[in-house]
């Protein structure tokens, strides 16, 4: 399943728009980006090296931020286009998976680990 870069960006933006306001209100010092493919270093963060890396959170989760947390670069959530296209068979499935990935990575920002997020459908 292939879509244009603009369509992919729009689907990520739509997923972000769907985040409840009470959660968006506490997203501080974080950038959300898109990339075509993960780098080798980014792939190295995966528990299953044979799977697809759909998204990646890099930063200091909110619960771990202390009073010394200031003047640091923003956390980064990256959503990867190519892996999404490879695992999805339809546009509807792709848009749904992008939404799920965005919410999963935002979950990491809030301090939830993969086991918790997967158990709750993210």
Packing angle of the helix pair 91-109, 5-17 (nearest 10 deg): 50
Which residues are CB-contacts of 66 (< 8 A; sequence separation ≥ 6)? none
Stretch 49-68: mean pLDDT, rounded? 92
Mean pLDDT across 88-108? 97
Best CA proximity match to 1, nearest among 86, 96, 95, 99 = 86
Q: Rounded to the nearest 10 degrees, how much is the dihedral formed by the CA atoms of 33, 38, 42, 45?
A: 110
Which pLDDT does position 50 carry in this prediction?
85
Model confidence at 106: pLDDT above 90: yes
| pLDDT tens-place string over residues 23-43 | 999 998 999 999 999 999 999
91 has a pLDDT exceeding 90: yes
pLDDT at 102 over 90: yes
Cα–Cα distance between 61 and 40 in angstroms, integer?
23
SS3 (DSSP) at 41: helix
Query: How does DSSP classify residue 11?
Result: H
For residue 59, name the pLDDT band (cuts at 50, 70, 90).
very high
Nearest to 77 by CA among 21, 39, 33, 121: 33
Please check whether residue 60 is in contact with residue 75, taking contact to mean a CB–CB distance below 8 angstroms: yes
Residue ranges of domains in the chain, CATH in brackets = 5-119 (3.30.2010.20)
Exposure string of 17-46, with b = 16+ CB inside 10 Å and e = fewer, is eeeeeeeeeebebbebebeeebeeeebeee
């Amino acid at each position: 399943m292939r879509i244009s870069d603009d369509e992919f960006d729009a689907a990520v933006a739509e997923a972000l728009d769907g985040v409840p306001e009470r959660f968006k209100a506490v997203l501080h010092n974080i950038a959300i980006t898109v990339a075509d493919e993960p780098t080798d270093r980014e792939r190295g963060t995966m528990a299953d090296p044979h799977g697809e890396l759909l998204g990646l959170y890099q930063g200091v989760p909110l619960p771990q931020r202390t009073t010394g947390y200031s003047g640091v670069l923003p956390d980064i959530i990256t959503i990867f286009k190519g892996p999404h296209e490879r695992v999805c068979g339809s546009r509807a499935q792709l848009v749904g998976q992008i939404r799920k990935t965005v919410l999963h990575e935002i979950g990491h920002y809030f301090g939830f680990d993969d086991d918790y997020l997967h158990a709750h459908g993210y």
